[in-house]
Amino acid sequence: MKTGKSDISQQEFPENELHKGSDVNHQVFSLIQKEFPDFKKNSLLSTDELNQYRKKYLSQLLKIEKREASKLEKEVIQSINDNEVLSHKIGKEQLPPLSYGQKIADKVAAFGGSWGFIICFFIFLGIWMGINMLILATGTQPFDPYPFILLNLLLSTLASIQAPIILMSQNRKETRDRQRAENDYKINLKAELEIRMLHEKVDHLILHQNQRLIDIQEIQTELLNDILKKMEKK
């Protein structure tokens, strides 16, 4: 039986148990070259030696998978620890205390835009005009005869004072609404960026895993071919 020498162990093996470097999976070939730089495409190694390097390569793949999975978990935990949830942070923000004038403006605006104000306003008008008409009916000069010039003056004064007070309250509410809109924008932007980063990480993992699965399948195919060859020889 013809024999040949392995360039790995320098031992003699039957020719049918020797493999050329060109027939070895390129990933396994690179692993062999790390330990034996002189190993070339036309170099020889035995089936047992080839299987040992195949097992070593597969074990390295599994270690890399575990290490990358652990690294990704650590990155997620670190991201959670370093970056406080933005919505939680915004929820804790305290608005500056309201001044006495701002509190009055809010109360005036709240009351001026209610049915209570409308009802009280009409009751006041009815009482004012009723009193003046009753006084006029008794033959006495009323304090505000028809067409109720004093009442018109009071109403004009009330409208001129009430309008800017309501505007002050509305302006502050608009400021709060604008701040709330900015906070919503920040939350949405942060969520969009995190989702995009998550997609990139998942795509990266899927790409690497697919490549490793292909390498594992190639090695499994080579092992099956070796087994079939041995069975055919027997």
- Each residue's pLDDT tens digit, 48-61: 887 888 778 777 77
- Residue 219 within a domain: no
Whether residue 132 has pLDDT greater than 60: yes
Condensed to tens digits (0 to 9), the pLDDT of residues 13-22 reads: 877 777 788 8
Which residues constitute the domain of residue 189?
A: 86-206
Higher pLDDT, 199 or 83: 199
Whether residue 152 has pLDDT greater than 80: yes
- Residue 220 within a domain: no
Domain final residue, candidates 28, 46, 78: 78
- Residue 130 within a domain: yes
| pLDDT of 68 | 61
| pTM (2 d.p.) | 0.40
CA 32 to chain centre: 43
Q: Say which residue the tokens 């597969």 belong to.
A: 58
The verdict on 49 and 110 lying in the same domain is no
- Residue 224 within a domain: no
Q: Which residues, 6+ apart, have CB-to-CB distance to 113 below 8 Å?
A: 166
The verdict on 178 and 121 lying in the same domain is yes
Assign 94 a pLDDT band (cuts: 50, 70, 90): low
Q: What is the mean pLDDT of the chain?
A: 76
Handedness of CA 48, 49, 52, 57 (dihedral sign): negative
The closest of 4, 8, 28, 29 to 16, measured between CA atoms, is 4
DSSP structure string for 161-213: HHHHHHHHHHHHHHHHHHHHHHHHHHHHHHHHHHHHHHHHHHHHHHHHHHHHH
Burial class (CB in 10 A: 0-12, 13-18, 19+), 35: exposed
CA 226 to chain centre: 50
The verdict on 28 and 137 lying in the same domain is no
| pLDDT of 213 | 73
| pLDDT of 123 | 92
- Of the listed ranges 50-54, 175-179, 192-196, the least confidently predicted one is 192-196
| pLDDT of 65 | 63
Domain final residue, candidates 78, 111, 131: 78
Whether the bond between 147 and the residue before it is cis, its omega within 30 degrees of 0, is yes
Whether residue 105 has pLDDT greater than 60: yes
Number of structural domains (the chain) is 2
